[in-house]
Structure 1
Amino acid sequence: MIWLVALLSCAGLIGAEEPFNHKVHNDRVIGGSNAQPNTWKWQVSLQYDSYNDGKFSHVCGGSIISSYHIMTAAHCILSMNPAYYRAVVGEYNLYKYEGTEQFLKVDRIVVHPGWTDQLEKGNDIAILKLASPVYNNGYVSVANLPYPGQTLPNGFTCHITGWGLIDFVGGVPDVLQEAPIDVVGHSICSQPTWWGSLVLETMVCAGGDGIISGCQGDSGGPLNCYTDGAWRVHGVVSYGPAGMCNQVTKPTVFTKVSSFMDWIYSVSQTL
């Protein structure tokens, strides 16, 4: 689900303290379509048990980055108690058991030390250590990541995937959604009529055409880009505009994975 919405007090967003779709159960990428089953094998449904009663609901996306580790957004972490979370991999239809899923308990949570609960400050990234490893059942895969510092050019087409809201009206498919989405270079996205100073060099913008965007419930999920001969997760869904998600010149903003490769490697090796 996508994110906290953004932060607009003086800049046009409004802050939020939990993922937009925290209490919403049906949603999708805006402007997207049903993904083909068994395509985005590193996609994760991060699920939360609000009352610790064994009833989990999808709150965010994520990516498998090793057999024991899931990458998601820091703002998706509503509690540092791992017992409230589970990661579901091999998922396609959230409301139908298809036999491809693995339901995995979370053992530990590490939020980036630079995360301040303020989206515009960046560092919106977290890693979850699983209690048991993801096993290869043919429906899962470890995500490829970009090279450290790698920057995508303006107009480069990636794909956003997730179970995020279509917005506040309309269809609510249960299956994983996907949509092509074009990168907006930092020199454009940081202009005052776009996101201005709210977007940092450690973020990636994509969309802003008023048609395709992430939305509530997509938070923490991947920006999938085909670079250097492989699909790689270049971004983690972080925030977007308050209100309607697919606004012109207000693209979806992602944590730029290539800016955090040293931290990701360090945590995954020690956690």
Structure 2
Amino acid sequence: MMQTLALLLLQAAYVFGCGTPAVKPDINRVVNGEDARPHSWPWQISLQVKHGSRFHHTCGGTLVGPRWVLTAGHCIWPGDVHRVVLGEHSMSVQEGTEQIRDVLRIVVHPKWDIDFVADGNDLALLKLDKSPILSDSVGVACLPEAGEIPAHGTPCYISGWGNLYTHGPMPDKLQQALLPVVEHSVCSRSDWWGINVKSTMICAGGDIVSGCNGDSGGPLNCLGQDGRWYVQGVTSFVSSRVCNEVKKPTVFTRTSAFTDWLSEVMLKY
């Protein structure tokens, strides 16, 4: 039954033209992170938390349905007031493409535990108060089929407004970086992540480039054989010592391990 629901959901995403940005990402020359081409990752959102009278960027996220944003469980703290900004590129400039939505409902994966990050299940779905208007700067990413795992070395891209380096500044403009997939058998070696990385996770990078604080919850964007972009992972954790550590790839929650849960939540609410 769940597989059928997942299929329906995927088919619905295709109707909305998932994973096909009007502005093509610049994927020719990314080495250790650079400004993304404006609005080339149109499903990338900024999850913002209210402090006093102002909202501040706290995490990334991905628009995966007309009213649904996928982010990390560790981005959600009880009592916080959230909003989602779509169509954003530069945090300091009003570009006229931004759309702001309130969060109507937050569903954190029931098995997520902040005290045991390495157990996995670092996922949350946010239901927006109303659908954004889909445009050249706001679009939907595709969700992979259940169990799909990108091959070792697959060139995927992380995107976000996270720190440019450990304890470094937050960038103004959306960043992207090439992070090749590291297969589980390599990533789980004792001198890599060892037992901290579960089969429900996906590793990417592990050299001089990685995710960093503020990228959490954002997508691992991988190009499918059909020419569409899929959110194969949700940014979960990096080395606690430094963001860019050799043999410590960025670890993502593997989206395709949670297809049934995502379908169930989006159809239930």
Segment of structure 1 superposing worse, 55-64 or 130-139 = 130-139
2:57 counterpart letter in structure 1: H
Whole-angstrom distance in 2 between the partners of 1:162 and 1:44: 9
3-state secondary structure, aligned to 2:220:
strand
Whole-angstrom distance in 2 between the partners of 1:75 and 1:170: 21
Pairwise CA distance, 1:243: 2.4
Hey, what does 2:200 align to over in structure 1? 202
What are the ranges of 5 or more consecutive residues in structure 2 without an aligned counterpart? 1-29
Whole-angstrom distance in 1 between the partners of 2:110 and 2:212: 26
CA contact (8 A) 1:30 1:214 kept: no
Hey, what does 2:65 align to over in structure 1? 66
2:51 counterpart letter in structure 1: S
Whole-angstrom distance in 1 between the partners of 2:39 and 2:159: 13
1:226 counterpart letter in structure 2: L
Structure 1 residues 108 and 221: CA distance shift in structure 2, 3 A: same
- Give the TM-score of the pair, scaled to structure 1: 0.85
Pairwise CA distance, 1:152: 1.2
Hey, what does 1:35 align to over in structure 2? 36
Alignment of 1:89-238 (within 5 A): 89-117=86-114, 118-168=116-166, 172-209=170-207, 211-229=208-226, 230-238=228-236
2:200 counterpart letter in structure 1: T
Pairwise CA distance, 1:139: 1.1
Pairwise CA distance, 1:106: 0.5
Whole-angstrom distance in 2 between the partners of 1:170 and 1:80: 28
Whole-angstrom distance in 2 between the partners of 1:50 and 1:249: 36
Segment of structure 1 superposing worse, 169-178 or 220-229 = 169-178
Structure 1 residues 269 and 80: CA distance shift in structure 2, 3 A: farther
CA contact (8 A) 1:30 1:215 kept: no
Whole-angstrom distance in 2 between the partners of 1:125 and 1:30: 28
Whole-angstrom distance in 2 between the partners of 1:175 and 1:30: 17
Hey, what does 1:10 align to over in structure 2? none
Whole-angstrom distance in 1 between the partners of 2:229 and 2:239: 27
Hey, what does 2:8 align to over in structure 1? none
Hey, what does 2:83 align to over in structure 1? 86
Pairwise CA distance, 1:228: 2.7
Alignment of 1:13-28 (within 5 A): none
Pairwise CA distance, 1:137: 3.2
3-state secondary structure, aligned to 1:56:
strand
Pairwise CA distance, 1:166: 1.4
1:250 counterpart letter in structure 2: K
Which of the residues 236, 239, 250 maps onto 2:237?
239
Structure 1 residues 137 and 153: CA distance shift in structure 2, 3 A: closer
Aligned residues between the structures: 238
3-state secondary structure, aligned to 2:258:
helix
Hey, what does 1:253 align to over in structure 2? 251
CA contact (8 A) 1:237 1:253 kept: yes
Moved over 6 A (4+): none
Segment of structure 1 superposing worse, 196-205 or 150-159 = 150-159
Whole-angstrom distance in 2 between the partners of 1:249 and 1:63: 27
- Greater relative CO (CA pairs within 8 A, separation 6+): 1
Sequence identity of aligned pairs in percent? 47
3-state secondary structure, aligned to 1:266:
helix
3-state secondary structure, aligned to 1:109:
strand
3-state secondary structure, aligned to 1:142:
coil
3-state secondary structure, aligned to 1:188:
helix
- Give the TM-score of the pair, scaled to structure 2: 0.85
